[in-house]
Chain A
């Protein structure tokens, strides 16, 4: 079974609008961390936001927030007030506590911001 599932291969959003990128995960470990990374067309991987399984509040970092629904095993990334520079691939990833060492990435979502 896939550890991380991103079901939206491509998304479009109007500039200045908000967009939600979906991520579901599969683990039986009570301790885990969830990460989102951005990969612009230039290719580098940029860390955006982290959510721990025991964190009581949803993580936020500037215009990025994580809609963490533990019972549903989902960790959706919300980007508010989209900018043209947000056009990129976005990857959801998980690190499980019982190993703590292996990272699992999703297949990614390509986001295009339309002027």
Chain B
């Protein structure tokens, strides 16, 4: 089954404790991206990657890191989480073929709470 998986689905942590949210897709997609969703703000793009070893900042990259060492994986790293990073996080992927008309496929989301 074609899908984007994220782990963990739920995470409660404390300020300053480094964490990683994993994202993996099995569709051989070139493009992958991370978003955070907050009430009243919609989805905001954190980072995206057009291919292996290529990453770029989205609208809200502060406090986050990413890496793309393999095509299928795109982990999101919070080196020192703070309470304002409490949010619902989505990973998404899309094909790089055919230009920008390709829709994104989203993972199930990770609900992160930073105390």
Contacts and interface: CB of A to CB of B under 8 A. Distances in A.
Interface of A: 4, 6, 31-33, 35, 37, 43-45, 47, 50, 52, 91, 93, 95-97, 100-108
Contacts of A37: 106
Interface residues on B, range: 20 to 34
A47 B103 contact: yes
A37 B103 CA distance: 10
A47 B95 CA distance: 14
Name the prevailing secondary structure of the B interface residues.
Answer: strand
B78 to A, nearest CB: 21
Contact of B56 (A91, A97, A101): A101
Name the prevailing secondary structure of the A interface residues.
Answer: strand
Interface stretch (B14-22, B40-48, B64-72): B40-48
Interface of B: 31, 33, 35, 40-45, 48, 50, 56, 58-59, 88, 90, 92, 99-101, 103-106, 108-109
Contacts of B48: 101-103
Contacts of B44: 105
Contacts of A45: 90, 92, 104, 106
User: In this complex, which of A32, A52, A108 has the most chain B Cβ atoms within 10 angstroms of its Cβ?
Assistant: A108
14 contacts: A4-B42, A37-B106, A44-B106, A45-B90, A100-B99, A101-B48, A102-B45, A102-B56, A102-B59, A103-B33, A103-B45, A103-B104, A105-B35, A107-B40
A32 B100 contact: yes
A105 B58 CA distance: 12
Contact of A47 (B59, B88, B99, B104): B104
A49 to B, nearest CB: 9
Contact of B103 (A4, A32, A35): A35
User: In this complex, which of B41, B43, B50, B109 has the most chain A Cβ atoms within 10 angstroms of its Cβ?
Assistant: B43
Given A96-B100, A104-B59, 9 more contacts: A31-B100, A33-B100, A43-B88, A45-B90, A100-B100, A102-B48, A102-B59, A104-B45, A107-B42
